[in-house]
Amino acid sequence: EDQVTQSPEALRLQEGESSSLNCSYTVSGLRGLFWYRQDPGKGPEFLFTLYSAGEEKEKERLKATLTKKESFLHITAPKPEDSATYLCAVRLGGGSNYKLTFGKGTLLTVNP
Amino acid sequence: GAGVSQSPSNKVTEKGKDVELRCDPISGHTALYWYRQSLGQGLEFLIYFQGNSAPDKSGLPSDRFSAERTGGSVSTLTIQRTQQEDSAVYLCASSLYNEKLFFGSGTQLSVL
């Protein structure tokens, strides 16, 4: 059973059309939820870390929020350069608190 | 360099050959990770190093896979007797005190 599920798998937006990406998780003892951006042929690039329900973080057109069961990445007035795969990952507590478990990602395409 | 460096960026090999993939982490980062990313799949954890020790090798798919780290720095992932199902992007990441992971651009491995 997947611990981290991202939806939708792919999302196509027009420039300026705001939307949200979802990351739901089934783990307990969360010790951090991470968002990364990955461009083709590159490694994932860190965006945000969220630690507790109710926490929000913003960077340019992106805002990440966290509840007890899911996280959202809100994209406001996206531009074509926001096109990328967005990855969500969780860090668990206890003996596995060193590694991140990733979802499969959401491929975002923003058309001009 | 300032980031995680991986080499080669691309590797094409024949089935049954051995390959070595190299990772140079960010200087001073004690933790080092190898992940594998297959088409349409999320990042799959392979192995974790803390210093030169590998306390978690649980993600290595078979005994054909091995990894080492020397001097608390450079790591090598070795795949023996490569199979077609080994074709994937192999990503290396490093972190300080198990915080956010910084990824390299990966090695695209193609087994013919």
CA of B48: which chain A residue's CA is closest? Answer: A99
Q: What is the CA radius of gyration of chain B?
A: 13
Tell me the domains of chain B and their CATH numbers: 25-97 (2.60.40.10)
Taking CB atoms and an 8 Å cutoff, what residues of chain B touch A5? none
- CA A82 to CA A2: how far, in whole Å? 27
State what percent of residues in chain A have pLDDT above 70.
98
CB contact under 8 A, B43 and A98: no
pLDDT value, residue A62: 98
DSSP codes, B8-76: -SEEEE-TT--EEEEEE--TT--EEEEEEE-TT--EEEEEEEETTEEEE-TT--STTEEEEE-TTS-EE
Decide the pairing of beta strands A62-66 and A56-59: antiparallel
Tell me the mean pLDDT in the region A69-83.
97
Q: Per-domain residue ranges for chain A?
A: 4-111
Per-residue confidence (pLDDT) for residue A92, from 0 to 100: 83
Position A2 scores a pLDDT of: 64
Contact (CB<8Å) B43/A45: no
Name the superfamily (CATH) of residues A4-111: Immunoglobulins (2.60.40.10)
Residue B98 to residue A97, Cβ atoms within 8 A:
yes
Contact at CB, A98 and B48, closer than 8 angstroms: yes
Report the chain A residue with the minimal C-alpha distance to residue B91.
A43
The reported pLDDT for the residue numbered B41 is 81
pLDDT for B79 equals 98
pLDDT of residue B1: 54
User: Searching chain A, which residue's CA lies closest to the CA of residue B108?
Assistant: A41
Query: In which band, very low, low, confident or very high, does the pLDDT at A1 lie, cut at 50, 70 and 90?
Result: low
Q: How far is B52 from chain A (nearest CA, A)?
A: 15
What does the mean pLDDT of chain A come to?
A: 94
CA A44 → CA A18, A52, B43, B62, distances in Å?
23, 23, 10, 25
Residue pLDDT, tens place only, A9-43: 999 999 999 999 999 998 778 889 999 999 999 99
Q: In order along chain B (112 residues), what is the average pLDDT of each group of 10 residues?
A: 91 98 96 93 93 92 96 96 97 89 97 96
More confident residue, A97 or B93: B93
Q: Which residues of B touch A41 (CB under 8 A)?
A: 105
Test B106 with A103 for CB contact under 8 angstroms.
no
